[in-house]
Amino acid sequence: MRTMRRSGGLAALLAGTLLAGGALAQDTNSQGERLPHVDGNAPATGTASSTQGAPTGEPVETEAANAPDQQPAFAGQTRAPQPAEMPEVTTETVAEGLPNLWALEFLPDGRMLVTAKEGKMMVLPAMGGDGEPIEVSGVPEVASEGQGGLLDVALGPNFASDGMIYFTFSEPRGAEGNGTALASAKLTMADGSASLDDMKVIFGQTPSYDGDKHFGSRIVFDGEGKLFLGVGERSDEPIRDQAQDLDSGLGKVFRINPDGSIPADNPFVGQEGALDAIWSYGHRNIQSAVLGPDGRVWTIEHGARGGDELNRPEAGKNYGWPVITYGVSYGGAKIGEGITARDGMEQPVYYWDPVIGPSGMAIYTGDEFPEWRDAILAGGLVTQGLVVLRMNDEGRVATEERVPLDARIRDVKVGPDGAVYAVTETRGGGGSTILRLTKA
């Protein structure tokens, strides 16, 4: 694997906007020690730099598992082999000096719509070209402490005609705490300005909770105009146990109409004691989601110390957290009974121990990398690069490869030019860059 960097586009244009000191909650305590419960944080191992020596045909991950006594439920559920041929990748920096970003979405004209964790939304020049970034007005107040803030953004299915976008954020709710909220708005752009018009919150995760972790969240539209939203279970014990409760909105995938109403064919509609919006449950912290070439939604959720999971959520299914899971707690103890399977609970399609620290996710559909056609591309916060999963005809992982980028990757998108765009982040509010990956 070969990488090369070139600098260009938007150089330091937003350097003055970066937050200073403690304006963003840092992933350290007052003694400067890294917090073990923060997404994509140590003590998980498996960095790209430690695995590049793995030979073709062998798993790219060579670090010891955190739970070595746990065994996969089927062959290929973890540590899939590297493919026989892997493309060489050139990396170009196309935007830098940005505040800590969380999500990127390409507009039809190639410009980049991005969200910044602190509560800013911006439109950047097309694919890193020349020009000034435009800050979008009308963004609601966000709770940006810890893992909270302005999170995912997605274009509506009819964006070209109605300009509607959808975004998630950690919504401050006063004495009740906070929670993940989904909002819609019309993105209006004219004469070098941009605004969110008719902005409204169309769905809110309940219950509220006074915490700063595991908000999720990713937005995916399916081919029928339905919106899927993956959220977290707020991390703390015992509230995380509500991932198993159908009357709670923690640790779920929701299926919603674009106007915020609930589809009548959702699996729990009309069931007493269950939220109508739930599609699947038993999830930990979903920060990766995409519509696959099969027309179904795929997600990756954060595990604890080991146990990041690739899932294809199905209607009404229970994905186990925290009753079953791979990996162990951050302190090394068993999670619950320490079991990885139970009747009535689904197995992940794939899992990682040690973790990759999953972030944004895309399906490769361009021409730049024919080797990656229809592959899953996932950002790695821990592995600090791109994780590429090629699937077989049965919908399971055939191979796994990694492209080291020497930075925490927060989001991944395929650009209109067929290149792969990766959003980096720096801990403690130190800023982001956008990288463009092409074939060397």
Active site residues: 214
Burial class (CB within 10 angstroms; exposed 0-12, middle 13-18, buried 19+) of 398: middle
Q: If DSSP codes are grouped into helix, strand and coil, which group holds residue 65?
A: coil
Per-residue tokens: 317:
């299914």
Which one-letter DSSP state was computed for residue 159?
A: H
Contact call for residues 123 and 107 (beta carbons, < 8 A): yes
Q: Residue 217: name the closest of 150, 162, 268 by CA.
A: 150
Per-residue tokens: 74:
């089927």
Side chain identity, residue 102:
W
Alpha-carbon span 107 to 418, nearest angstrom: 14
Alpha-carbon span 254 to 297, nearest angstrom: 12
Alpha-carbon span 70 to 45, nearest angstrom: 17
194 pairs with which residues across the strands? 136, 189
Contact call for residues 434 and 422 (beta carbons, < 8 A): yes
Contact call for residues 201 and 182 (beta carbons, < 8 A): yes
Secondary-structure percent of the chain, ordered helix, strand, coil, rounded to 5: 5, 40, 55
Radius of gyration of the chain (CA): 20
Q: If DSSP codes are grouped into helix, strand and coil, which group holds residue 199?
A: strand
Alpha-carbon span 432 to 15, nearest angstrom: 10
Using the structure block, give the residue that is written with the tokens 């390409």. Answer: 106
**Contact residues for 382 (Cβ-Cβ < 8 A; gap 6+):** 40, 41, 42, 44, 45, 46, 47, 354, 355, 356, 357
Going along 173-283, which residue ranges are E strands?
Answer: 178-190, 193-204, 218-221, 227-230, 252-256, 278-281
Return the half-sphere exposure (C-beta side, CA atoms, 13 A cut-off) of residue 323: 16
Burial class (CB within 10 angstroms; exposed 0-12, middle 13-18, buried 19+) of 207: middle
Return the half-sphere exposure (C-beta side, CA atoms, 13 A cut-off) of residue 332: 1
